[in-house]
A and B are shown apart, each in its own frame.
Chain A
Amino acid sequence: MNKNTQKKLWIGLAILIVLTPLGLLAEGTAFGEWGSEDLLKEVGYVPTGVEHGENLWHSLFPGYTVAGFEGSFLHSSIGYILSAVIGIALIYIVTIVLGKIIAKREEETRNENS
């Protein structure tokens, strides 16, 4: 990948980050991802497994929200964009570290071939 392409891909990612609040416009919950309130309404009870499951882990940014940025569309949009930035930063760093550990080291391969 040349530097120019890399720059373009980063710009592409940045544009996507800014546009993420569009994803907030879709109302409703994905099939099979309902919370206990949805289930109480739809099914009439909350399965015990789901109830335990909901309390199993408390994420820092539940549903891509950031504490203090809730309520209005503007506020939640900022929270959503922040989540995108935080998520991308974490994923980028983890993948780079993981990649550096497992990727083929060019020097080693050259030695093997020689």
Chain B
Amino acid sequence: MHIPDGYLGPITWGALWLVMIPIWIIASRKLKKDLKTKNVPLLAMGAAFSFVIMMFNVPVLGGSTGHAVGGTLIAIVLGPWAALVAVSVALIIQALFFGDGGITAIAANSFNIGFVLPFIGYYIYRLISANADITSTRHWIGAGIASYIAINVAAILTGIEFGIQPILYPAVDGKFQYFMYPLSVSVPAMAFEHLLVFGFVEAIVTLMVVRYLQQTDASLLRLTERTISQDKIPAGVSV
């Protein structure tokens, strides 16, 4: 799901920079308000976890590979804005030092993997686990379902960004300048491998860690609860 340089034309990657810059600014404001200094090491570990889990490439039939992200997991523990920051840091380091994902595509990848994925995962998780006791199975089952849906939405979104390139930049002399397959290829390709394989990898990783936290240090699943109930009165906007 890490879009390299040269696969998206400037209209697409430029637009996504324009979208992501304000989102990052909002995230830093949100964290200034909600992230406690003592939770910063946990945020850093979340970012590190996301980075290392993305190194576990899993094969699918047809010679493609993919991996889990862990974005929903970070969002469950620290909230979606913190997850956005953690995953964005991981993506930027991946692009700069490891050539995984393009420099021009940092915003596109941060949008798909760092923004859309954790936010979708977080709110589906909250929906399923709402009012459930901290020991309830709804927490880890909810985490599994939420992370499965979230990574699939992000994958399909990536497929759409790929697939609109031939429309934005039609072939000249039979050769495309950027991504070359139409939406009818890119979306099903991204969807199928995530629906069938990587979505389950993400779900298993997420629910296992949530189950583990439930049993060992359930307080980690409650970090965001207080901030949310505090938020309710002044701003329903935060949801």
Contact = CB atoms under 8 A, between A and B. Distances in A.
Nearest to A45: B175
B39 A31 contact: no
B51 interface: yes
Interface string A1-37: 1101110111001001101101111111111110000
B51 A91 contact: yes
B45 A9 contact: yes
B86 A95 contact: yes
B2 A20 contact: no
A105 B53 CA distance: 31
B117 interface: no
User: Interface residues of B toward A: which range?
Assistant: 35 or more
A29 B60 CA distance: 10
B5 A98 contact: no
Given A52-B6, A103-B36, A13 B55 contact: no
A88 interface: yes
Given A20-B52, A53-B5, A28 B180 contact: no
A63 B3 CA distance: 13
A95 B62 CA distance: 37
Chain A interface secondary structure, helix, strand, loop or mixed?
Answer: helix
B90 interface: yes
B31 A61 contact: no
A111 interface: no
Contact of B177 (A8, A22, A47): A47
Interface of A: 1-2, 4-6, 8-10, 13, 16-17, 19-20, 22-33, 43, 45, 47-54, 56-64, 80, 83-84, 86-88, 90-92, 94-96, 98-100, 102-106
Interface of B: 1-7, 9, 28, 31-45, 47-49, 51-53, 55-59, 62-67, 85-86, 89-90, 92-100, 102-104, 158, 162, 169, 175-180, 186, 189-190, 193, 216-217, 219-220
